[in-house]
Amino acid sequence: MSKTVAEGFYNDSRLAKAKELIKEALTEHQASLTSIRPANPALKESYDSLLKKVADFRGGALFYNYLGTGIGNGPFVELADGSVKYDFITGIGVHYMGHSHHGVIDAQINGAISNTVMNGHLQQNVDTAKLLEIFSHQACKYGGEMKNVFLSTSGAMANENAFKIIFQKRSPASRFFAFEKCFAGRTLGMAWVTDKAAYRAGLPKTIDVDYIPFYSADDHKGSIDRAVYAMKKMLTRYPGQYAGFIMELIQGENGSWVGNTEYFEALIQVCKDNNISVMVDEVQTFARTQELFAFQYFKLDKLVDVVTVGKNSQVCATLFKDDHKPKPGLMSQTFTGSASQISAAHYVINEIVTGGYLGKEGKINKLHDRFKSNLEKIAKKNPGKLSGPFGIGAMVAMTTFGGDEPKTKAFTIKLFENGVLSFMASGHPTARVRFLMPVMAVEEKHIDEVCAVIEKTLNEME
Ligand SMILES: Cc1ncc(COP(=O)(O)O)c(C=O)c1O
């Protein structure tokens, strides 16, 4: 006898049968999506008119002529022009599991047949408890203390919540440190944190942020000294006014530039000496190094106060230590995520931590090594056209044409036309091409095929 009506419903054998049928149909239909396919000329007219409709209604064209049909097969995705592409950017690092993943669809169906579309901070179903628990346990597994988890629906909102928590704790301090060329999201607050003038053109000032130069592997000691000096100089100028330091440990939007433990420790020491909270923005780095959290990879567990996650986690979140708990009234939102999203988030995170992706010998590192060595070979053959460094883990990046921005943009568009989705990082003056692969779905042979398309595309460029 079921303890609740829901238990009886979820265990009804008809549901299991229905899910089996869906899986069977999906397997059959997705089976043909196993390689790059050009667009179907017969669909050109309808596709172009769909693209135009989207551009008209959203007030501007899309970066790529990309409109998906809603089906894919691992790293392959079908577009509405009939083409099939390798997805090596995954919506800028979201579809870790690839396209039409059976386990994820199963998890989403469980959410979809529950009583509501959305869960929220006033009304959450039991799946939320499982999700909070896995976030919290994983964040604390090496001695970290960020056991409190607040869910939200975007990375920018997770960051907003982190800033609110920190400002309240450090009130009346009102300034923040951030890294030069960082990206923190698109809200009015985060537009003033992101170090890019174009992203806040015409917006009223919200937060006072001072920028510290990011780590440079070419000048390890010099970059540490310069960053510490810059912090101390600003602390002399604005004593007692800094509430926090937001750190992207690997700069994603800027082109996958990798930090360093000694560098972070030196800056965090200055934070600790001056009562400044340490916030790590892992919206992009979550599950992309050999550890679930990049702060664990850099061994900063004991030093971080607040961390934010998003993208791969499917549901975004702000995690914080007990001593950063907000006062009642500071935080709440209507939505925490859809029921399907929450169910899928638990599935995906659980799979990442149990499925052999993490660790020195895990799949993430293996894929990276393969990608890097292939790119090194192409770079050797094409000196002025391609160079490294090539990122870390499942954040692979490369410099094309010496970082020339218009050429790099043209390259990504040509690569798209040739069947591979990547994205440009426009960290002026050194633009880069980056890849955020669907780790669960990618095999080494896929990387080889993608690299062949990269090389062909480079050769097609002037
Ligand atoms: C480091 C970082 N922080 C925050 C964000 C913002 O996340 P969202 O676009 O979900 O608001 C992003 C998105 O690219 C990011 O890379």
Domains 112-354 and 383-462 share a fold: no
Residue 157's Cβ-count burial label (10 Å; 0-12, 13-18, 19+) is buried
For residue 41 the two structure tokens come to 């000329």
Q: Which residue owns the Cα nearest ligand 1 atom 16?
A: 284
Q: Is any atom of ligand 1 closer than 6 Å to the C-beta of 403? A: no
| The residue type at 260 | N
DSSP at 89: S
Q: Which residue owns the Cα nearest ligand 1 atom 3?
A: 184
Q: Can you give the pLDDT at residue 305? A: 98
CATH 1.10.357.10 fits 112-354, yes or no: no
Give pTM, 2 decimals.
0.97
Tell me how far apart the alpha carbons of residues 159 and 282 are, in angstroms, rounded to a whole number.
10
Q: Which residue owns the Cα nearest ligand 1 atom 13?
A: 185
Task: Please report the atom of ligand 1 found closest to the CA of residue 253.
Answer: 16
Q: Which of 63, 183, 285, 423 to mutate to test the pocket of ligand 1 (most atoms within 8 A of CB)?
A: 183
Q: Can you give the pLDDT at residue 1? A: 81
Q: Is any atom of ligand 1 closer than 6 Å to the C-beta of 253? A: yes
Q: Can you give the pLDDT at residue 428? A: 58
Contact 368, 341 (CB under 8 A): no
DSSP 146-158: --EEEEESSHHHH
Any idea where the domains of the chain sit in the sequence?
Answer: 30-87, 112-354, 383-462
Contact 86, 437 (CB under 8 A): no
Query: 383-462 falls under which CATH superfamily?
Result: Aspartate Aminotransferase, domain 1 (3.90.1150.10)
pLDDT along the chain (462 residues), means of 10: 94 97 98 98 97 96 95 98 98 97 98 96 95 98 98 98 98 98 97 96 98 96 98 98 98 93 98 98 98 98 98 98 98 95 98 98 98 97 92 96 93 97 82 97 98 97 83
316 CA to centre of ligand 1 in angstroms: 10
Q: Is any atom of ligand 1 closer than 6 Å to the C-beta of 94? A: no
| 3-state class percentages of the chain: helix first, strand second, coil last, to nearest 5 | 45, 15, 40
Q: Can you give the pLDDT at residue 430? A: 79
